Structure 1
Amino acid sequence: MPKYNDNVQMLGISHSGVRLIKRTRTSTTDTLQVIETFLLEEILHVSNVRVHTIDIRIPGKRITLHSHRARKIKQMIEIFSKETGQISCFARAIRDHHSRLSQPDCLTFRTGDVIKISKLRPMPDGWLYGAIDNREGHVPVDHVRIISQQELCKKHGKTSPLTSSDPLKSSSLGSLSGSRTFSEMITSASMDINNESRPTHRDMSPVCTLPGTYSMMEYALQNFKIPHRRKGKKSWKNSEWTWNDYSDLIKWSKTPIQAPLLRQTSSEMARTARQCFIAIMRFMGDHSMGKGQSEIDCIYYLLKLTNNKSSKADSLKRGWSLLSVVTNYFIPNEALRPYVLKYINDNITNSNKEAQTCLKHYNQTIKYGGRKNVPSKSEIDATSNGRNSKRQTLLLPGGLPITIQTQPSMVIGDCISQVCDRLNITNLLEQDEYSIYVISSEHTSRLLNPTEYILDILSECLRTNIGEYHFIVKRLLWYFLPLKFDNELFINSMYNQIMPDYLDGTMIIVQKHEFTDERVQEISLLAALHHYTSKKVALPSMREVKYLLPTALLALKSVRPQDWTSYVHQKFKTIESLSILEAKIKVLTILQTWPLFGTTFYTVQYIDHLSVSSPCLIGISKNGLLFLDKETHESLFSIPFNDIISIRRHQNTVDIKYGSLTQPNLIQCQIDKAQDMVALTGRYLSLIAQNRPERKNDHKTYNDPISTIL
């Protein structure tokens, strides 16, 4: 490159600026020395005045360079300038601003000063970050307006805008045309911000994004209607709107909006938008209630986020309360979603617990789809008064009460997690073995889906007037065995759930209508332990022994009642040194070694299998499906879970496909409670799949315990 002056021999271009460089060569060294540097933002104009000549204009200086690559240099400067223009722009002060002792970070400037605005530094709504020469600081948005290329050139003595025949027609400031509004200068909402591919010059449309990321001001510029220009304002000398005019649209107002704020709002929605806004103001206490209206009526309307600076002391708090209710039911559309998240996160402080609640509700709604039932008046009153938790009593097996703290966004799965924490069950997959039922005084019960909201269930119970009801926690799956006895509450709940099944005789296998002596002694010990856990110190009578034995044994004549009583008395004398808790642990330790421990049984009325006679029992355990003799509980046929291809239910008929995929076997059977049987099988299959080594690191997912059809 020919010399620009006696020293400059080379030109360097990067995002940080343009450098004029001198190259010095000696016999031993070859060095580069930067003679002068200027920023890309300082370039006012760049053009090829001749084929091999490039002219660069910066404030107070004109640089002319001669090179056979002049056209290429011009294109490179324009490309880098455009990319640099994405992180900064210029604004002109429309009124004076002086920093105060209480605002040391603010920038002082006078009307007419040109300020360089940084777009990378995140700032709260209503503020920008700018610099004048070597001074920098916070700039209030209502004190400045974006200036165009023409205005900036005019300030430095150039009257015409940049022109060029090159496809890249403007420098970094060429995007700020004086005829463009703010809403035209921001990035399109449909742009893929995650696209990391380098755009071509055809894709590089002139844009000016706002500083920070996803501020409400940015959303307003992208989506709000441009208001009708107000005439008669002396300070307005052109058609540009200031930042202040848009910021007014997202600030608190003492009067309701007269028209929808969003663009392309249909005429049918205009009236609804005004009603929603008035309802929000009424809930927040900024507008008088209509005749016969209450706070709960206001909840039915959508919330439009605002910078609330109401003169009423509790208006802001009530606004956040309203937002916490709305985010528990709905999530914003994809365009508004990032702005809502940023707005909430920007307002999360130790003192603003309402914002933290909003974020929690938002995340739960994203995960579970939002609540379905309208909140009760008592819930609205509690939310308005800042009470976001409620004590709820659940019942463990045996009627053991356990109290948890429920919140509006909690689902049944969260309640199960709280209960499991109290039981010292930390494995998330093991927590999936537990479920919650709601049981009414009319003895009707319903198994609750882990994704249902607890307060939706409560409001449903109140609305249907089912009378007295209870939430019962039970263990449905028995995959993670053996049991661990490191928590007293866990031991008591397991004991209370297992003993009724044991006394019903479902765990007993009777071979040839007889018991071995070893099994007789074991059952006698269990009877003695069970009697001991009821805190009875006297030996049980023959009548009492009858209720300590499984019902299946009472019909057997191989052991007489007198013999059972004698055996139980002998065992009772050997356990008197145990504590009640130790006695329960001993019972559970013995029972979990039995083959049918942890098996759930259903009655099969009919089955089309040669080796299985009807009626029979089907048992579901961690080992698969077991078909058992109804009387003796001896195993007739089994299907491991790994062999199951599908299970489909048609009313009470269940089709089970198993074996090879190419030549599957099919069993049809009619089962009482077929829906529950299919659902339980599905939960076992899901748990087994999640517990595989390659799936252990996957996120926890809930499966519908009622409608799982494989």
Structure 2
Amino acid sequence: MATSPSPSVACVTLPTDSDYTMQEFALLPWARPMPAHPQWPRARPPAQLTVLFILPAALMQFMGDQSKPRGKNDLDLLYGLLKLCQEENLRDEIYCQALKQITGHPRPRLCARGWTFLSLLTGYFPPSTLLMPYVTKFLQHSARSQELARRCQGHLQHTVKYGGRRQLPSPGEMQAFLKGQVVHLLLIHLPGGVEYKTNTHTFTVAAEVLEEMCGQMGITDPHEVQEFALFLIKGEGQLVRPLWPREYLTSEVVGLDVSLHSRRLSWETPLHFDNPTYVSTHYGQVLRDYLQGKLLVSAQEDARLARLAALQHLSRNHEEPPSEQDLLAYLPKQLLCQMNVAAVTSLMGQELWQLRGCSSQEAGQLGRSELPLFGYSVYMVLRVSKPALPGPGLLGLNRQRLILMDPSSQELCCSIALRDLRRLRVLSPLGPEDSPGLELNYGSADNPQTIWFELPQVGGLCALRSTSWPVTQALTAPSRRRILGQRV
């Protein structure tokens, strides 16, 4: 188990031409008929004026300075305040009221309630750029003596870096937050059966967890960290989608039937094998792709199949010779009816003799570059819009290009350089039995090309937006166009 470190935050720097006190902010010319600053508010509509009138009372009721209305508890009041914060035009007023209520408050327990609200406010919604330096200065000054102020300062800087949480917390999360239970245990499933446990907080984002998880695997290069992604899986795979680096985990990982998984999506950084967890997870991911037939080994390649089977046997620390059942488990299932099992069995015995003395970890490292599509993220394509191209086929993607391979002949049928990619759109399925897909527009202005792929794992491919710049630039909103070009 690893404990999440304090989040790395973007610091808010203050110009030196002002003290940026809240007293100075209160003297700004808010009432000028024609504002000299574009962010100074103009006349308020009546509904907002009503809200501004009841806001101080709602905050004092939550803090305990006033009695609560009949039938309302702390949770109701806190939700009401956060819902008001969803109105961007009201956030500065809410910030000012919160800072006013905690400034010089004579009762520490009630003042702490105000800081609790402010810690939520700073983690969800930033103030305007006009008010930001004043709030920052207030928190910096208060942090010298207030632990809660330091927490608010960290939340605000975190919000500046990642944008703040978009969804309000669930009632259960809100109750836990009010009780001070802000740390949550998170379980991430890695390839090869490895489970990674970490502590997250109310405002932890996916990028922070990935950075910490990679650090535990000995990955320190930021470029290599970006080659991993987190996936959210609901139930038995009814919903699989990637989490983007700026997504807040507490908002997404909700429910008993939701699990979090991680895998490597890009393989540009040279591999290193100085960490056992690193070796286990990479071996597990490559092995799964190999056994699913995604790494293109021909049924006629007896020597290669035998060597890869021998390496799997050694990685399991088996000293006795493999049984026929063992051998079948070491081979891609779709090749079993095409290959000479007796020949592979004989060659596997020779490979085991040559590899004697090899440890299980060394066996996990060997053979990685012998697979034809190693280094690509591989997806099964069901259909292609161009009749000359194979379907089903294998779609491989790395940082340089996208390729389509014929799984039977292992021929390269199509190759598109990502620098030539102009637009990429997700194609929604027509019905519950259909699969989603991708529409790619590529080529030059003089010779534009379009191709459609129908593939079930479109979500995993789109996760490469975080690791592949051309795909990031090209991806547009989902389309309802049929995969074979017919409009719906």
TM range (shorter): 0.7 to 0.9
Counterpart in the other structure of 1:452 = 247
State whether structure 2 residue 166 is matched by structure 1 residue 389: no
Among candidates 311, 333, 343, match of residue 551 of structure 1: 333
String of CA shifts for 1:389-409, please: whole Å, max 9, x gaps: 332221111332212221222
Secondary structure in structure 1 of the residue aligned to 2:71 = coil
Secondary structure in structure 2 of the residue aligned to 1:582 = helix
Deviation of 1:566 (Å): 2.5
String of CA shifts for 1:421-468, please: whole Å, max 9, x gaps: 21222222221211111212242222222221111113xx34xxxx42
Among candidates 608, 612, 618, match of residue 386 of structure 2: 608
Counterpart in the other structure of 2:200 = 406
Secondary structure in structure 1 of the residue aligned to 2:195 = strand
CA contact (8 A) 1:602 1:677 kept: no
Deviation of 1:485 (Å): 0.8
Compared with structure 1, are the counterparts of its residues 389 and 223 closer, same or farther at alpha carbon in structure 2 (3 Å cutoff)?
Answer: farther
Counterpart in the other structure of 1:664 = 447
Structure 2 matches for 1:633-648, cutoff 5 A?
A: 633-648=410-425
CA contact (8 A) 1:503 1:551 kept: yes
CA contact (8 A) 1:591 1:597 kept: yes
State whether structure 2 residue 131 is matched by structure 1 residue 336: yes
Deviation of 1:346 (Å): 1.0
Counterpart in the other structure of 2:77 = 298
Compared with structure 1, are the counterparts of its residues 314 and 353 closer, same or farther at alpha carbon in structure 2 (3 Å cutoff)?
Answer: same
State whether structure 2 residue 232 is matched by structure 1 residue 438: yes
Amino acid at match of 1:484: H
Compared with structure 1, are the counterparts of its residues 446 and 577 closer, same or farther at alpha carbon in structure 2 (3 Å cutoff)?
Answer: same
CA contact (8 A) 1:607 1:614 kept: no
CA contact (8 A) 2:241 2:460 kept: no
Counterpart in the other structure of 2:360 = 580
Counterpart in the other structure of 2:68 = 289
CA contact (8 A) 1:436 1:448 kept: yes
CA distance in 2, matches of 1:291, 1:578: 74
Stretches of structure 1 that go unaligned for 5 or more consecutive residues are 1-192, 197-210, 226-261, 690-701
String of CA shifts for 1:550-598, please: whole Å, max 9, x gaps: 23432334x3x23322322333344442332222122xxx222433113
CA distance in 1, matches of 2:18, 2:407: 71
CA distance in 2, matches of 1:536, 1:606: 43
Secondary structure in structure 1 of the residue aligned to 2:108 = coil
CA contact (8 A) 2:396 2:404 kept: yes
State whether structure 2 residue 5 is matched by structure 1 residue 222: no
CA distance in 2, matches of 1:706, 1:449: 16
Counterpart in the other structure of 2:121 = 326
Compared with structure 1, are the counterparts of its residues 223 and 486 closer, same or farther at alpha carbon in structure 2 (3 Å cutoff)?
Answer: farther
Compared with structure 1, are the counterparts of its residues 224 and 298 closer, same or farther at alpha carbon in structure 2 (3 Å cutoff)?
Answer: farther
Secondary structure in structure 1 of the residue aligned to 2:70 = coil
CA distance in 2, matches of 1:629, 1:544: 28
Counterpart in the other structure of 2:141 = 346
Compared with structure 1, are the counterparts of its residues 680 and 409 closer, same or farther at alpha carbon in structure 2 (3 Å cutoff)?
Answer: closer
Compared with structure 1, are the counterparts of its residues 613 and 595 closer, same or farther at alpha carbon in structure 2 (3 Å cutoff)?
Answer: closer
String of CA shifts for 1:343-386, please: whole Å, max 9, x gaps: 1111113x522222212221232333321222234433444444
Stretches of structure 2 that go unaligned for 5 or more consecutive residues are 1-13, 32-40, 82-93, 429-435, 480-488
> How does the TM-score come out when normalised to structure 1?
0.55
String of CA shifts for 1:13-57, please: whole Å, max 9, x gaps: xxxxxxxxxxxxxxxxxxxxxxxxxxxxxxxxxxxxxxxxxxxxx
Among candidates 173, 181, 187, match of residue 379 of structure 1: 173
CA distance in 2, matches of 1:339, 1:438: 39
CA contact (8 A) 1:331 1:362 kept: yes
CA contact (8 A) 2:426 2:438 kept: yes
CA distance in 1, matches of 2:427, 2:179: 50
CA distance in 2, matches of 1:613, 1:390: 47
More relative contact order in 1 or in 2 (CA 8 Å, sep 6+)? 2
Secondary structure in structure 2 of the residue aligned to 1:222 = coil
Among candidates 137, 160, 168, match of residue 366 of structure 1: 160
Richer in helix (by share): 2
Counterpart in the other structure of 1:82 = none
String of CA shifts for 1:176-233, please: whole Å, max 9, x gaps: xxxxxxxxxxxxxxxxx99x9xxxxxxxxxxxxxx951101112222689xxxxxxxx
Deviation of 1:528 (Å): 1.9
Counterpart in the other structure of 1:526 = 308
Deviation of 1:649 (Å): 4.6
Among candidates 280, 283, 288, match of residue 500 of structure 1: 288
Compared with structure 1, are the counterparts of its residues 681 and 277 closer, same or farther at alpha carbon in structure 2 (3 Å cutoff)?
Answer: closer
Structure 2 matches for 1:199-238, cutoff 5 A?
A: 213-222=19-28
Counterpart in the other structure of 1:540 = 322
CA distance in 2, matches of 1:265, 1:337: 21
CA distance in 2, matches of 1:357, 1:703: 36
CA contact (8 A) 1:395 1:472 kept: yes
Structure 2 matches for 1:117-136, cutoff 5 A?
A: none
Structure 2 matches for 1:215-294, cutoff 5 A?
A: 215-222=21-28, 267-294=46-73
Amino acid at match of 2:73: S
State whether structure 2 residue 139 is matched by structure 1 residue 356: no
Amino acid at match of 1:469: V
Deviation of 1:681 (Å): 6.1
CA distance in 2, matches of 1:574, 1:423: 30
Counterpart in the other structure of 1:569 = 349
Secondary structure in structure 2 of the residue aligned to 1:409 = coil
CA contact (8 A) 1:223 1:263 kept: no
Deviation of 1:324 (Å): 0.7
Among candidates 467, 486, 494, match of residue 274 of structure 2: 486
CA distance in 2, matches of 1:677, 1:374: 27
CA contact (8 A) 1:648 1:678 kept: no
CA contact (8 A) 2:283 2:364 kept: yes
CA distance in 2, matches of 1:447, 1:566: 43
Deviation of 1:483 (Å): 1.3
Secondary structure in structure 1 of the residue aligned to 2:55 = helix
Compared with structure 1, are the counterparts of its residues 553 and 298 closer, same or farther at alpha carbon in structure 2 (3 Å cutoff)?
Answer: same
Counterpart in the other structure of 1:471 = 260
Q: How many residues align?
A: 432
Secondary structure in structure 1 of the residue aligned to 2:395 = strand
Secondary structure in structure 2 of the residue aligned to 1:328 = helix
CA distance in 2, matches of 1:682, 1:670: 17
Secondary structure in structure 1 of the residue aligned to 2:232 = strand
Deviation of 1:667 (Å): 3.6
Compared with structure 1, are the counterparts of its residues 346 and 527 closer, same or farther at alpha carbon in structure 2 (3 Å cutoff)?
Answer: same
Bigger Rg, structure 1 or 2: 1
Counting aligned pairs with the same residue, the percent is 25
CA contact (8 A) 1:330 1:365 kept: yes
CA distance in 2, matches of 1:665, 1:334: 43
Secondary structure in structure 2 of the residue aligned to 1:335 = coil
CA distance in 1, matches of 2:453, 2:276: 41
CA contact (8 A) 2:424 2:476 kept: no
Amino acid at match of 2:123: N
Counterpart in the other structure of 2:8 = none
Structure 2 matches for 1:156-171, cutoff 5 A?
A: none
Structure 2 matches for 1:73-152, cutoff 5 A?
A: none
CA distance in 2, matches of 1:563, 1:263: 83
CA distance in 2, matches of 1:413, 1:708: 25
CA distance in 2, matches of 1:395, 1:521: 33
> How does the TM-score come out when normalised to structure 2?
0.78
Counterpart in the other structure of 2:432 = none
CA contact (8 A) 1:620 1:626 kept: yes
String of CA shifts for 1:329-348, please: whole Å, max 9, x gaps: 21222332221111111111
